Amino acid sequence: MKKLIFTALSLSSFVFAQNITYKIDGKEYEGYYKSPSKNAPLVYMVHDWDGITDYEIKRADMLNELGYAVFAVDLYGKGIRPTALEDKKTMTKSLYENRSEMRKRLDVGLEEAKN
| Tens-digit pLDDT profile for residues 70-94 | 999 999 999 999 999 999 999 999 9
The pLDDT of residue 13 is above 60: no
Whole-number Å distance between alpha carbons of 67 and 5:
29
Contact 31, 115 (CB under 8 A): no
Query: Exposed, middle or buried by CB within 10 Å (0-12, 13-18, 19+), for 49?
Result: middle
112: nearest Cα among 19, 40, 47? 19
- pTM (two decimals): 0.81
Q: What is the pLDDT of residue 14?
A: 57
Query: Exposed, middle or buried by CB within 10 Å (0-12, 13-18, 19+), for 5?
Result: exposed
